[in-house]
Structure 1
Amino acid sequence: MEQQISRRVLIGGGVAAALGALVPSGAAFASTKPAGAGIHVDRVRGLSPDFAMGVDVSTVLSLEESGVVFRDAHGRPADLFRVLAQNGVNSVRIRVWNNPFDDVTHQGYGGGNVGIARAVEIGRRATRAGLGVLVDFHYSDFWADPARQLAPKAWAGISVAQTARALHDYTVQSLRAFKRAGVRVTAVQIGNEINNGIAGYTRPGMEIDGSFAALLEAGASAVRSTLPQAKVVVHFTNPETAGRFATYAAGLRRYRVDYDVFASSYYAFWHGTPENLTSVLTQVSRTYGKEVMVAETSWARTLEDGDGYGNSIGSADQAPEYEISVQGQADALHDVIAAVAAVGRAGIGVYYWEPAWLPVGPPTDYAHNSALWEKYGSGWATSAASSYDPANVGPWYGGSAWDNQSLFDWDGTPLESLRTFQYVRTGKR
């Protein structure tokens, strides 16, 4: 997903206002919840008790440092992870960047500034709330996705063989930090949306080659030796492209890459139908004996902008598949869960991407917001990230392009769409 945040904002014409500084009381935000609204959700049959009802909340520490307050259903300040658990979430996905800080100024690059220490702290809090943890290694110092797989600064210019060794050792060291902290890591993702490469290595076309496979195997072997109980996850995107996932899975088998779960991103506004998603994941599962999941999904609840920085989905024309509303969020999330469950026992979970990435302040307070994004990394990128990734960040750094897809109101109160994770097990009318 990460590539699409920046690219959509760029394509939108540098809509770069910036994301806002929070008034601690939340009183500056007008509620976007319809009075007395309720949602309906059909039951998804056949869900196993351990089906991952997950969320990625990797920006949480930066948001809290910027003054964002999360609340329970009654509007009282509450720990985000407790609120998630109370609403049916059972797992948290945490992205990890090698060194998301400028070597000279030490300013963070943004997006939560999630180096290993901060990732472990998020994992510790999730574990205390009774949630499992999926660790998402990007093997980059900032966003990794199909459009960019930048090598970490420390690995720049080294050979593929040297990168494989560095990747292995870094993965071991990082997972040991999670282990020492008592984090309940249930799965480890070796790379993020790795369609075209990983850790600075890129390849043309969809065919997997030996160098790419060697890098994946380095990560997989690190997981096996450090946390043998954790599932090894590979993560791709664009399931709508005919033959893509079948080609990837065939290449992984050809080079004997050791993994357990084949994961996909799935955003209905970009990635085709739920029926196609079920079809391509079923093909991978049945042909290669792998479990499957959706590692990222979301939907917009409003077309309003919460922080002054333009949104990735800013018009109904960009997202005609569902209603733009809290009910639309519930419908979209339900359908993704149902699509993965339809694969059968091999369909093991769905993660909603950044449902708590809230505005740090109202869109009218851009100067204050911008200062917070820069100081705490609570926007998608800071000015410091431009030197690391000039092509994708450049002058377009700033706030969140995702606030209108949150499962929380902008004052931090959970929306009923968050409870979809519960309702798919029971139904809600």
Structure 2
Amino acid sequence: MKLATKIILALVLIVSCTDSESNNDGQINESIFYKGMDLSFQSELEDYNIDYKDSDGNSVELLDFVKSKGTNLVRLKLWHTPQNGENGLSDIKAYAQRVKEKRMGFLLNLHYSDYWADPGTQTPPLAWQNMTIDEVKVEIYNYTKDVVLQLQTQNTMPEIIQIGNETDSGFLWNYGKVWNEFSDNWVNYAGLVSEAIRAVREIDTANESQIMLHIAGIQTAVPFFSELLPYNLDFDIIGLSYYPQFQTKDLDLITSTLNTVATTFDQPILMVEVAYPFTLLWNDNQNNFIGNINQIIPEFAPTPQGQKAYFEWLITTIKNIPNNKGIGFCYWAPDWVAFSGNENTSTNGTSWENQCLFDFDLKALPALDSFYDN
């Protein structure tokens, strides 16, 4: 082959890889490093016509902009029967179509609750309460199967399906609770998860989706997933959260623990919830999750450059997990800015505006460059 021909073919390959990072049917390549964002608040925030801007102050369309910065995965939470009308299946289906049209990956986060599910609160949907464990197994199977089928029917199958949110304590309390007096209840937790997985696999015969189990604690990952080994659950990804205000701030300990998880279990690791503040100040009338210097990592100042430096460390740490087991990260609520207010007071506040990837003037922060550069 002539040198000129080789150069042309190489240029074509470079353009095709950098333009899309997905194949012809919109599915993300298996080898992709996920640079994700949880944009679950968009179904609500878009009603307020928030004027997100690039770093120069030019107005941007959020989804187009974050894709241009390197985002290749969008996570959306699904509530069964939402108490506030947001994050129901119709919202997820509509936004998933937009994500797929942009040729980005989609992560479906099934909370199996009508509202927030986390280690301290795992309330079953109201419609499932006062049932027997066997009846709940039927419900979780049927519900999961229906959700996945509806997404498949509109050609928006998720790249990743998350079974439960931050299930350190189990989920669907007390049916699948594994904390405190229910610490010997792993058989029921595993049984419920197994039914959800079975529903996904029966619909997803083309293996378009990977299944993830997600807990909040890095340091508790080894004991948690060790408890599940006897049940041989058919899942593909270990999902972990890291928020320094709730976990250790020892960076060496975080690194060593992630490496232990990778060498102990077969599944790769996705850091599915991460964030860091660019300031300790506030821009509305709500208390923030982080507002004290003792809550941040000493190595990274709560400044725009400190936020970026944190993400550069995090991405490097994930990419250095042994055996290429670190497959990416997902920034939680980078868009949940203070909104619908005058000057510095919001009538509909947020506890997160100082951890967003847009500053108080709604201009993109330097940390977004970490998505593009890695």
What's the TM-score, normalizing by structure 1? 0.74
Give the counterpart letter for 1:401 in structure 2.
S
Q: Are 2:243 and 1:267 equivalent residues in the alignment?
A: yes
Equivalent residue for 2:368? 418
Instruction: For CA contacts below 8 A with separation 6 or more, give which structure has more relative contact order.
Output: 1
Q: CA deviation at 1:238?
A: 1.9
Equivalent residue for 1:343? 321
Aligned residue among 163, 169, 190 for 1:196: 169
Q: CA deviation at 1:415?
A: 1.6
Is the Cα contact below 8 Å between 1:337 and 1:349 reproduced in 2? yes
Equivalent residue for 1:329? 307
2:167 counterpart SS class: coil
Q: CA deviation at 1:306?
A: 1.6
Structure 1 window deviating more from structure 2 (162-171 vs 311-320): it is 311-320
Q: CA deviation at 1:173?
A: 1.1
Q: For 1:245 and 1:192, how far apart are their aligned partners in 2?
A: 14
Give the counterpart letter for 1:239 in structure 2.
I
Q: CA deviation at 1:287?
A: 2.4
Matches within 5 A, 1:139-158: 139-158=112-131
Aligned residue among 87, 96, 99 for 2:78: 96
Give the counterpart letter for 2:138 in structure 1.
R
Q: CA deviation at 1:126?
A: 1.4
Give the counterpart letter for 2:60 in structure 1.
A
Equivalent residue for 1:239? 218
Q: For 1:184 and 1:298, how far apart are their aligned partners in 2?
A: 27
Q: For 2:252 and 2:138, how far apart are their aligned partners in 1?
A: 40
Is the Cα contact below 8 Å between 1:274 and 1:336 reproduced in 2? no
Is the Cα contact below 8 Å between 2:186 and 2:228 reproduced in 1? no
Instruction: For structure 2, list consecutive stretches of 5 or more residues without a partner in the other structure.
Output: 1-29
Name the one with the larger helix percent.
Answer: 2
Q: For 2:237 and 2:148, how far apart are their aligned partners in 1?
A: 18
Q: CA deviation at 1:179?
A: 1.9
Is the Cα contact below 8 Å between 2:112 and 2:125 reproduced in 1? yes
Equivalent residue for 1:222? 199
Q: For 2:170 and 2:31, how far apart are their aligned partners in 1?
A: 35
Equivalent residue for 1:307? 284
Deviation string, structure 1 residues 249-303 (Cα, Å, up to 9, x no partner):
1221111111111111001232223433333333233222111111101001112
Is the Cα contact below 8 Å between 1:149 and 1:200 reproduced in 2? yes
Cα distance change, pair 292–175 in 1 and its aligned pair in 2 (3 A): same
Is the Cα contact below 8 Å between 1:274 and 1:335 reproduced in 2? no
Q: For 2:56 and 2:223, how far apart are their aligned partners in 1?
A: 49
Q: For 1:224 and 1:338, how far apart are their aligned partners in 2?
A: 33
Cα distance change, pair 239–67 in 1 and its aligned pair in 2 (3 A): same
Equivalent residue for 1:55? 37
Is the Cα contact below 8 Å between 1:188 and 1:233 reproduced in 2? yes
Equivalent residue for 2:187? 210
Equivalent residue for 1:380? none
Q: For 2:314 and 2:351, how far apart are their aligned partners in 1?
A: 22
Matches within 5 A, 1:19-418: 50-101=32-83, 108=84, 113-201=86-174, 202-205=177-180, 209-227=186-204, 228-240=207-219, 244-272=220-248, 273-321=250-298, 322-344=300-322, 345-362=324-341, 369-370=346-347, 373=348, 399-418=349-368
Cα distance change, pair 364–200 in 1 and its aligned pair in 2 (3 A): farther
Q: CA deviation at 1:319?
A: 1.7
Give the counterpart letter for 1:312 in structure 2.
F
Deviation string, structure 1 residues 375-423 (Cα, Å, up to 9, x no partner):
xxxxxxxxxxxxxxxxxxxxxxxx3100110101234332221111122
Is the Cα contact below 8 Å between 2:278 and 2:304 reproduced in 1? yes
Is the Cα contact below 8 Å between 1:285 and 1:291 reproduced in 2? yes
Is the Cα contact below 8 Å between 2:214 and 2:238 reproduced in 1? yes
Q: For 1:181 and 1:269, how far apart are their aligned partners in 2?
A: 40
Is the Cα contact below 8 Å between 1:261 and 1:291 reproduced in 2? yes
Q: For 1:410 and 1:169, how far apart are their aligned partners in 2?
A: 44
Equivalent residue for 1:24? none
Give the counterpart letter for 2:319 in structure 1.
A
Q: For 1:307 and 1:349, how far apart are their aligned partners in 2?
A: 32
Equivalent residue for 2:19? none
Q: CA deviation at 1:184?
A: 4.8
Give the counterpart letter for 1:95 in structure 2.
K
Equivalent residue for 2:17? none
